[in-house]
Amino acid sequence: MESILNINDISDIVTPESNEEEQRKIRKLEMDLQEAQKDVEVREKQIENLKKTQKHLESHQELQKKKIESLQKKIDALENETAKMRESQISEIVDTAPLEAKIKELEIECQKLRQENSRLKKDFDSKEVSVVEKSREVDKYKLKIEELTKKIEDSETKFNKKIKEL
């Protein structure tokens, strides 16, 4: 067995200097390990915060989807009302040219709103971006929804005024 060391070989290997060196290395490794553990804790907290932010954004995204659906329902209601008015107009003998023009205008407005709504849905559903980008996008959609809501309300007001005028 050539691999067995004799006592002289061991004393050559384990010296006070080498032992001190090993102790320094061990202390350095322990410090590195503590730093790494602290880094892991910081990263875990960051991940936890990102998960919370993502959950918040997902719930916000769900609200935006509901608003889009609500806008779609309003658009459909306006289109239905327009169609009913068109049908009732046929049975009347009065001059319908101004009302026909208004109906065409409302149909065009509804079509534009439907296209905008469809585009927003596609943009909204197809985006796969980071948490920060989603937050920015949610803000953008808020503004769009407010604009669309305002347009719908304006269209409804105009439509109701025209109906009262007739």
Burial of 46 (0-12, 13-18, 19+ CB in 10 A): exposed
Neighbour-count burial for 115-134, b at 16+ CB within 10 Å, e otherwise? ebbeebeeebeeeeeeeeeb
Is residue 162 within 8 Å of 102, Cβ to Cβ?
yes
List pLDDT tens digits, range 8-48. Answer: 555 555 566 778 888 999 999 999 889 889 988 888 898 89
What pLDDT shows up at residue 1? 44
Please give the span between the terminal C-alpha atoms of the chain, in angstroms, as a whole number: 114
Q: Are 89 and 96 in contact (CB under 8 A)?
A: yes
Q: Quote the tokens at residue 164.
A: 């009262």
Q: What is the pLDDT of residue 60?
A: 85
Map out the domains of the chain as residue ranges.
9-165
Please state the rounded mean pLDDT for residues 134-144: 78
**pLDDT per residue over 102-133, tens digit each?**
888 888 988 888 898 888 777 766 655 565 67
Report d(CA 107, CA 158) in Å as an integer: 13
| Mean pLDDT confidence for 46-68 | 87
As a whole number, the mean pLDDT across the chain is 79
Q: Give the pLDDT score at 27.
A: 92
% the chain with pLDDT above 90: 4
The proportion of the chain whose per-residue pLDDT surpasses 70, expressed as a percent, equals 78
